[in-house]
Amino acid sequence: MRIDVVSIFPEYLAPLRLSLLGRAQEDGLLTLAVHDLRDFTFDRHRTVDDTPYGGGAGMVMKPEPWALALEHVLERQAGAHGAADNPRRPVLVVPSPAGTVFTQAMAYELAEEPTLAFACGRYEGIDERVLDWAGERFEVRPVSLGDYVLNGGEVAVMAMVEAVGRLLPGVVGNPESLVEESHSAGLLEYPVYTKPSSWRGLDIPEVLLSGNHGKIASWRLEQQLRRTVARRPELLEGAEAAPFGKGERAVLRELGYEVVDGRLRRVAS
């Protein structure tokens, strides 16, 4: 996969050269290019922002540097592996607190693309006409990390590139760690423990020493259910009941959920 990021703070993205994704780039599994938006300006001050029409606080990113930067990205991406056979337009992710919320499902979708581009806005945002213009050349996707406000898209891009990059074939050494995650999709992970079995007066759950793999698996699933109910109940409300067997349904009932038309429903308690 080829990823291009446009930002006024290219150094912000430097950590993507480290660790797992750094290795993926060395191994040729991922090509990551970060472009400085100011390289697409021509005035002495390399200006990328201006005051908003209609007034109001803050500054807005000027359109022309963005068009030039994104044209440059399109040229570079045209030669990427798989780009020529892509029947669809290349995806342009625009990080924004006003976007669709980024999820693991979206990470899997994006991991299928031969190329991805990210346009990091700063200040109050990018002149809206850039998105209209880009919409004729890219599949534009405004994406948010969640309901809070960051100063710009760079940190969000780091999160998204890491989430997508680790799904690319060969990037994660043991692909079973991905399989396990997708099996438990929709539930939070179970708690994990390592040696020593007794530490500062705290013992690990006994079942983990039993050697009974069936019992361990059902204990872990029960922990996932309890955790999800306690921390993220909205993940269970309306979820398909089909993946849950007799034992799990009993736990779910105890936790206040019933099955109606094959879906979980919170029972008033």
For ligand 6GU, the closer of residues 91 and 241 by Cβ is 91
The distance of closest approach from Cβ of residue 72 to ligand 6GU in the complex, given in angstroms and rounded to an integer, is 22
The distance of closest approach from Cβ of residue 121 to ligand 6GU in the complex, given in angstroms and rounded to an integer, is 7
The distance of closest approach from Cβ of residue 7 to ligand 6GU in the complex, given in angstroms and rounded to an integer, is 12
Terminal CA-CA length for the chain: 49
Report d(CA 250, CA 244) in Å as an integer: 10
With beta carbons less than 8 A apart as the criterion, state whether 90 and 115 touch. yes
The distance of closest approach from Cβ of residue 38 to ligand 6GU in the complex, given in angstroms and rounded to an integer, is 19
For ligand 6GU, the closer of residues 143 and 229 by Cβ is 143
- Quick one: DSSP state of residue 235? G
Q: Which range, of 56-64, 83-91, 93-101, 226-234, touches ligand 6GU by CB under 6 A?
A: 93-101
Helix 154-165 to helix 19-26 angle (10° resolution) is 60
x/- track of binding to ligand 6GU for residues 140-159 (CB under 6 A): ---xxxx-xxx-xx--x---
Q: Nearest 5°: phi and psi at 177?
A: -65, -25
Tell whether residue 188 is a contact of ligand 6GU (CB under 6 A): no
Q: What is the DSSP string of 161-178?
A: HHHHHTTSTTTSS-THHH
Tell whether residue 125 is a contact of ligand 6GU (CB under 6 A): no
Instruction: Report the residue from 96, 115, 223, 228 that binds ligand 6GU according to the rule CB under 6 A.
Output: 96
| Residue indicated by tokens 């979820």 | 239
The distance of closest approach from Cβ of residue 201 to ligand 6GU in the complex, given in angstroms and rounded to an integer, is 40
CA dihedral angle for residue 74, residue 124, residue 142, residue 77, rounded to 10 degrees? 10
Tell whether residue 110 is a contact of ligand 6GU (CB under 6 A): no
Quick count: other Cβ atoms within 10 Å of Cβ 224?
19
The distance of closest approach from Cβ of residue 71 to ligand 6GU in the complex, given in angstroms and rounded to an integer, is 23
* H or E element, residue 76: helix 63-78
Provide the binding-site residues for ligand 6GU, judged by CB under 6 A: 95-97, 143-146, 148-150, 152-153, 156
